[in-house]
Structure 1
Amino acid sequence: MTDTTLHVRAVARDDFDAWLPLWNGYNRFYGRFGETALPEHITRTTWSRFFDGYEPMHAFVAVRGERVLGLVHFIYHRNTIMEGPICYLQDLFTVEDARGQGVGRALIEAVYAHAKDSNASRVYWHTHETNHTAMRLYDDVANKPGFVMYRKDI
């Protein structure tokens, strides 16, 4: 009998081959493919940071049975107006055929739990203004503080 329960857990070193297609899918969604793809050394560096105890970067995967359905990456950092750390949910991606099945929500909730256990007082993230599917979920699982993100790539 196949386990149909969704499990969220930290990535393990031997998850790389299952994680990589999701990472590539996430990057493709944001236009990083073909000539604009991330260099392989960036992907390898990102992967290695998840297992470096000196890095504040973490990764979870959502698994049903033997299949990895989604990923989330998050980073802790200091903030000038709070005593403890805050958590930036940097990347969230699910395979297309698992969308709408609670995978993204489970990944976000796992980050919330980890942040709480790590004494972080806030989890925040950004998404592209055209990512309407994800925004429906985000509107349901997060407070909307009214801030707008500005950025300049340098």
Structure 2
Amino acid sequence: MTALQIRPVTKEDHAAWLPLWQAYLKFYNTELPDAVTESSWQRFLDPSETTNAALAWKDGKAVGMVHYIYHRSNWSIENSCYLQDLLVVPEQRGTGLGRKLIEFVNTDAKAAGAGKVHWLTHETNATAIQLYERIAERPGFIQFRKAL
């Protein structure tokens, strides 16, 4: 058995990443046009983009993914890091992999000079909320959005 490895995606990882991305979208009962998926993938590979992706590997198989985006903030001089998407395959849930993926982002964000990492989850995602409440503060803000 090989040790767990988390690393940024490379162009060779597309076939491993895509099923995880599709499982993530299915978990949230949503679909996106293929053009959006392809655009996101290309952004992950472009070093001039602020959006990033990493995969967790175990025994040669991708078992988790995380996407995160650096952005400016009017509340600090440092950039912030938005952890946008996080998925652990069902057979790896409860092993600490979700926490390790978040720690990977925290480490990368700190190295990039970001002042904070923040994220959202759906109010029905009780399992994720249990983890998040152990490792981060819950500031109490409510999200609103308007599609344009």
State the TM-score bracket (shorter-chain normalisation).
Answer: over 0.9
TM-score (norm 1): 0.92
Q: 1:66 aligns with which of 30, 40, 60?
A: 60
SS in 1 for 2:46: coil
Unaligned runs of 5+ in 2: none
Q: Report the counterpart of residue 102 of structure 1 in structure 2.
A: 96
Alignment pair present for 1:56 and 2:39: no
| Alignment partner of 1:20 is 2:18 | yes
Q: Paired residues, what number? A: 148
Query: TM-score, length-normalised on structure 2?
Result: 0.96
Paired with 1:108 and 1:84, the residues of 2 have a C-alpha distance of 19
1:20 corresponds to which letter in structure 2? L
Q: Counterparts of 1:136 and 1:75 in 2: how far apart (Å)? A: 23
Name the CA distance, whole Å, in 2 between partners of 1:153 and 1:29: 21
1:131 aligns with one of 115, 125, 129: 125
Distance in structure 1 (CA, Å) of the matches to 2:147 and 2:124: 19
Cα deviation digits, residues 98-129 of structure 1 (max 9, x gap):
10011111100000000100110110000110
For residues 48-82 of structure 1, the C-alpha deviation after alignment (integer angstroms, 9 at most, x for no partner) is 00111221000011111201100000000001111
Paired residue secondary structure (2:45): coil
Q: CA RMSD in A?
A: 0.9
Q: Secondary structure at the match of 2:129?
A: helix
Which SS does the other structure have where 2:146 is aligned? coil
TM-superposed CA distance for 1:9, in Å, is 0.6
Q: CA deviation at 1:152?
A: 2.0
Cα offset, 1:31, TM superposition: 1.1
1:150 Cα deviation after fit: 1.9
